[in-house]
Amino acid sequence: MSAVIDTIETHLVDLPTIRPHKLSMTTMACQTLVIVRMRHSDGIEGLGEGTTIGGLSYGPESPESIKRNIDTYLAPLLIGQPSANINFLRARMNRHARGNAIAKSALETALLDAQGKRLGLSVAELLGGAQREHLPVLWTLASGDTRKDIDEAFQRLDDRRHCDFKLKIGANAVEDDVRHVAAIKAALGERASVRVDVNQAWDEATAVRGIAALQDAGIELIEQAIPAREFAGLVRLSQRFQVPMLADEAVQDARDGFTLAAGGFSGAYALKIAKSGGPCGALELAHVAQAAGIGLYGGTMLEGTLGTAASLHAWATLDTLAWGTEMFGPLLLKDDIVAEPLRYHEFGVELPKGPGLGITLDEDKLSHYRRKDG
């Protein structure tokens, strides 16, 4: 008899960041992870993580709503069901619950982790097999201080930790943001690539002005300069400039990816398991992009180690990642809740080894950082 899902527990875990992380819509000093522990009738436990950025400032799901909606609506759809048929369980969640992609991603990750442990296979092997064991990882410079960002970038280069950098802009006047970014690119020169993420902060007219200046400064990639739903504007920007546009919030799933590509968009898509409902949905988007000749970038929601590992297993199955990844989430945290951290070196990170995600919780750390009322 196949194993069934017995229980699903969720925990809110608050971890401090190593420094304030400034985005266009908020500044973070703490990251809250939603940790899922899914236990099965054969004794196997699957682990998952659902994480967003800045409470409700990034999107419609907050850590508290992720936990509540799993506990109240999604977990009852799964408990008592055979746990090995992940496609069936994904469809069941989608049929009975709208949206809630981050919550569904945490549950899908836990299902994959459990099935991998059951079969003695990694999540990457469940998803078709890893094509690389070491993935490139950029670093986001987000202190908001030009001198500090330059010093931080040189330190990361000297440590051989990162050689690509992204800057979060959009909270300040365009001229101030361009001046900040251009100074950093000028200081780094050819030693590193510099990209920017506007986090939807500009309208199209402002974007035209800002992107022209950023292109002149040698910036290599412009992420989500205008609001996500303005597909026509994204297409126009991608066709107007030589510097590529990176669509992030605009492409939640494969259908968004198809719509944008069919409209004439060129550039790249940021993949995120959280916005696509899990690793399987993110790979569906990746395959649409590949068919349309659109580049890929492995994105993050600043997850901890569990969510980062799940993403890495998915990204490792892709034959090309033209723009690398930004899976640095655990490095932004002062501490973690896992027994062994991911291994970052030589400008990237190693794919975790072992069955499932290849990650084990540190129960003492989990108990210490777990929100006592959550």
CATH architecture of 126-350: Alpha-Beta Barrel (3.20)
Considering the chain, tell me which residue range(s) the CATH 3.20.20.120 domain(s) occupy: 126-350
pLDDT digits (tens, 9 = 90+) for 43-91: 999 999 999 998 998 899 999 999 999 999 999 999 999 999 999 999 9
In the annotation, is 168 catalytic? yes
Which of 49, 108, 223, 326 does the annotation list as catalytic?
326
Which of 104, 117, 168, 185 does the annotation list as catalytic?
168
Of 237, 241, 284, 285, nearest in space to 263 by CA? 237
Of 112, 160, 102, 111, nearest in space to 134 by CA? 160
Rounded Cα distance between 143 and 260, Å, is 33
Q: What is the pLDDT of residue 27?
A: 78
In the annotation, is 230 catalytic? no
% of the chain with per-residue pLDDT over 70? 99
- Cβ burial of 234 (10 Å; 0-12, 13-18, 19+) is buried
pLDDT digits (tens, 9 = 90+) for 240-286: 999 999 999 999 999 999 999 999 999 999 999 999 999 999 999 99
Rounded Cα distance between 24 and 27, Å, is 8
Rounded Cα distance between 24 and 206, Å, is 15
Helices (H), the chain: 63-69, 75-78, 86-96, 101-119, 123-126, 146-158, 174-188, 204-216, 231-240, 254-262, 279-292, 305-315, 363-369
- pTM assigned to the model: 0.96
Considering the chain, tell me which residue range(s) the CATH 3.30.390.10 domain(s) occupy: 5-120+362-369
pLDDT digits (tens, 9 = 90+) for 284-301: 999 999 999 999 999 999
Rounded Cα distance between 103 and 202, Å, is 29
More confident residue, 267 or 374: 267
Average pLDDT, the chain: 96
Selected from 3.30.1360.70, 3.30.390.10, 1.10.220.150, 3.40.50.150, the CATH number assigned to the domain covering 5-120+362-369 reads: 3.30.390.10
Longest dimension (CA), the chain: 65
